Structure 1
């Protein structure tokens, strides 16, 4: 679907931006070929260098392709807006506006602006995320867990773009917060265990008194799922697959539950099952549910979950685009939401899929959550 949309936008740009250029036709052919190449680069890379989920190319090449692809999308949007404004000016007979909108430099200028924005977006996608501190009030939180510090990592997307050095810095920044518990809500990796073994090794250094608990996202299923489950266990993580565990403070407890990702069913793996995840849980312990995608939040609230932690959306990537991403995720895209008596937190994520690695106005994050007892 992404390639089809990109191909249509590339055709639009070839018609509206490249064809009108006053330059030799061989140069216009080269520019058009570049635009179509960027539009189809996911398919080309998947054919010759890894897969769409995990391009096995040098970091600089991945960054350059991603920058060009996002620049293509932004240019198409800007040129479309200019064309719509031109059409409106013509219909309303606004001659001065029409003349300005037909300026020869305007559309190439829009392309230059799009490229600058895309360069910024790629840089933002590759920086080590800052810590975002959030306090979340939970009804009936046991006094023993007042001030409990829970650190959420999500969408790390370890890859040839976000490599072991970057992961090590994320781990160091996470450990510096001295959390009581670390949870990872899916999409830890892109690629096979063999390809990413060295890059994920720093995750073994995550430290918290109550351990490191993880769930799967959709990307774990794209490359050697069972091998990754073994690898995560070797890194010291407890992976919850439609299961839960109990964290105790004396007689008080929290239930930490986790579900799988809906894409699991496509690969013959267990689909998400919140009922199974909560089966046998302490009825007096507040439930914190880890679900990579936020869209089932209302159903989880109906099961009595106190807090759901999710990722997957990357915060929408780009200001404005977040509204589109929200529609595909139950209306949830970034931040804290009250949902039928439950609290839902959707993290922007630490990293990004290398096939669309851009952040414009939507910063990455490591989330430090402090639990508070809700006022009666």
Structure 2
């Protein structure tokens, strides 16, 4: 270091501080809206323009606290979407410590409801207790199960599975066959799966769209290839997996133990469904 000019050392230190400040600010903010469109083959015309809001990896905690959650809920409700889908890792901490911080989620609302699946962090803090609490907040849980959304006689399947970490907690792991048992033939299937690693199996089961989180988009852009290798090649954004589309969300927040983002922004993800135009 003695051979490096003092001005350069101070400049590098200043740059590091600026980047750290930007990274923390990007991590801790309530994110802006990200609008995306998904074109689905055989989407009933009654669901043309149907809107979803995906929330994921909120990690409500001392960092992402009651005030943060209240602002998030206000911004989410203002979007006026048809359906809200929460794809896991809502919390970090036991219910006794976080009950006040998650309370604003009770005000989340959409015309066709709010659905939730667990992420791996729910299993760190008594998954069943947390999932029961989410139900008291007005959410409908999807544990290897599905629900039907109906519009003028047409149906859309919303399915959800448990997390890959569940067996380590002595609880049932993801079971897509069970989740899809009895779904009506021809109805498009939207699958909620916290981790994207099983996307190829979902595609083989006829899922039209899988929504996942877990990766936080890699958090820092140079880390993305490393995170992708741990998640079967999936880290952020859209992927075509056989006949299925997979969307891996950067996350609404992230794990407070590494609260840093650079070049990988958090997002409030509003998804508009469109009918795919058949070629020819």
TM superposition score normalised by structure 2 = 0.95
**Greater C-alpha Rg:** 1
The answer to whether 1:161 aligns with 2:63 is yes
Deviation at 1:316, TM superposition (A): 0.8
SS in 1 for 2:159: strand
1:261 lines up with 2:150 in the alignment: no
Aligned residues: 277
Per-residue CA distance 1:230-270 (angstroms, 9 max, x = gap): 11010000111111111111221011000111111000010
Task: Work out the CA distance in 2 between the residues paired with 1:310 and 1:225.
Answer: 18
Query: Could you tell me how far apart the structure 2 residues matched to 1:223 and 1:368 are?
Result: 29
1:315 deviates by 1.0
Instruction: Tell me which stretches of 4 or more aligned residues in structure 1 moved more than 4 Å.
Output: 106-109
Q: Would the aligned equivalents of 2:250 and 2:264 in 1 still touch at CA under 8 Å?
A: yes
| Distance (whole Å) between structure 1 residues aligned to residue 5 and residue 163 of structure 2 | 50
User: Of Structure 1 and Structure 2, which has the larger fraction of its residues in strand?
Assistant: 2
TM-fit CA distance, 1:180: 0.5
1:219 aligns with 2:116: no
Whether the aligned pair in 1 keeps the contact of 2:73 and 2:108 (CA below 8 Å) is yes
- Tell me which residue corresponds to 1:335: 237
Q: Deviations for 1:277-336, whole angstroms, at most 9, x for unmatched residues?
A: 111111221100000011211111111000000111111101111121111112111112
3-state SS of 2:71 partner = helix
**Contiguous gaps of at least 5 residues in structure 2:** none
Q: Structure 1-normalised TM-score? A: 0.72
Show the counterpart of 1:66: none
* Distance in 2 between residues matched to 1:231 and 1:299, nearest whole Å: 30
Map of 1:177 onto structure 2: 79
Q: What stretches of structure 1 of length at least 5 have no aligned partner?
A: 1-19, 22-101
Confirm whether residue 345 of structure 1 aligns to residue 247 of structure 2.
yes
Equivalent position to 1:307, from 203, 206, 209 = 209
Match of 1:194 in 2: 96
Offset of 1:210 from its aligned partner? 0.6
Asked if structure 1 preserves the Cα contact closer than 8 Å seen for 2:116 and 2:142, the reply is yes
Change (3 A) 1:107 1:272: farther
Find the counterpart in structure 1 of residue 17 from structure 2: 115
Task: Give secondary structure in 2 for the equivalent of 1:296.
Answer: helix
What is the CA-CA distance between 1:111 and the residue it aligns to?
4.4
1:10-50 deviation digits (Å, cap 9, x = unpaired):
xxxxxxxxxx67xxxxxxxxxxxxxxxxxxxxxxxxxxxxx
Higher relative helix content: 1
What displacement does 1:153 show? 0.4
> Which residue, 86, 100, 103 being the options, matches 2:4?
103
The 2-side partners of 1:112 and 1:355 are apart by: 24
Distance 1:141 1:234 in 2: 32
Give the Cα separation in 1 of the matches to 2:99 and 2:24: 25
Equivalents in 2 of 1:238, 1:222: separation in Å? 21
Report the alpha carbon displacement of residue 108 of structure 1 after superposing the two structures with TM.
6.4
SS in structure 2 of the partner of residue 326 of structure 1: helix
Match of 1:318 in 2: 220
